[in-house]
Amino acid sequence: MARITLEELNELDDEDLDEDEEPMDEEEQNRLFSHWEAIASTHQVTLPREMAGPVVQMTRHNQTRETVPYATLSQHEKCEEIAYEERLYPSGKWACTTRGDPKYEQSISMGFMKLMRYICKENSLRRHLGMTVPVVNEIHLNKEGTELLQEVITGYYLPEEFQLNPPLPMDPEIQVIERAPLQVITRVFYGNTTEETILREIHLLWELLGSADNVLHEIYMVATYENPGVPNRRNEIWFIRRAN
């Protein structure tokens, strides 16, 4: 795995600093990049050199995250705990990129790195846009429902400030689209998101639901609320209701 030098990290970080931000010291820069590099390696992905600036920016703004708006339609309990709930997400603008890497973990990692660069100033405004959660990965299953297809669409909801006039991406592989209102059945799970865990969570939610004719069977969404370095991070599996 190629490593970035301290000099290169300093140069990239200085370019991405806002005027009112104090530079991060060298030891912290090295520690931070090594941490993200190690996380990327667990997904069989090499963290490229151009990610140094976005890594610093995302870390600086980690405490300020806007939640994607939604309305809770219903909650369903099992053993006195919420087993799943139904939500309605309004229409909104999302920045999306599509990957088809050999493994799901590689696709979501490479897709999110592209979106990180868009969020961290590789946009027409040349400014940090701010993070929203969750990041949503749209996945497709084969007809038998036994394995994921390679194509994964990773989506970042534009903060409310930019919904009416979204900044344009510099990367041609990122598209800003308007998604129609989305009604989903969602269940929380924790830990890493791999093809194995996703298929297991889909199976578990189908067991809870039983049959549901107005739910899509070959397209699902995986929502993530924390970065991959967070132990036991929160995720959700989303089943999509058919549009009326």
pLDDT by residue for the chain (244 residues), tens digit each?
Answer: 333 343 433 443 444 444 445 566 666 766 776 766 777 777 777 776 777 677 777 777 666 789 999 999 999 988 778 899 999 999 999 999 999 999 999 999 999 999 999 999 899 999 999 999 999 999 999 988 899 999 999 999 999 999 999 999 999 999 999 999 999 999 999 998 999 999 999 999 999 998 777 999 899 999 999 877 677 889 999 999 998 7
Q: Which of 18, 23, 22, 1 is nearest to 9 (CA)?
A: 23
In angstroms, the CA 159 to CA 15 distance is 23
In angstroms, the CA 87 to CA 72 distance is 4
Confidence (pLDDT) at 63: 63
Per the CB < 8 A criterion, the answer to whether 159 and 86 are in contact is: no
Confidence (pLDDT) at 23: 61
Confidence (pLDDT) at 240: 96
Assign residue 143 a region (left: φ > 0; alpha: ψ between -120 and 50; beta: otherwise): alpha
Return residue ranges of the chain for CATH 3.20.80.10. 67-241
Confidence (pLDDT) at 25: 61
Confidence (pLDDT) at 59: 72
Which residue stretches of the chain are H helix? 6-16, 26-42, 52-60, 104-119, 195-209
| Assigned token pair, 60 | 């600086």
pTM attached to this predicted model: 0.83
Orientation angle between helical segments 52-60 and 26-42, nearest 10 degrees = 100
Confidence (pLDDT) at 51: 74
Residue 50: CB atoms within 10 Å: 13
Fold of 67-241: Multidrug-efflux Transporter 1 Regulator Bmrr; Chain A (3.20.80)
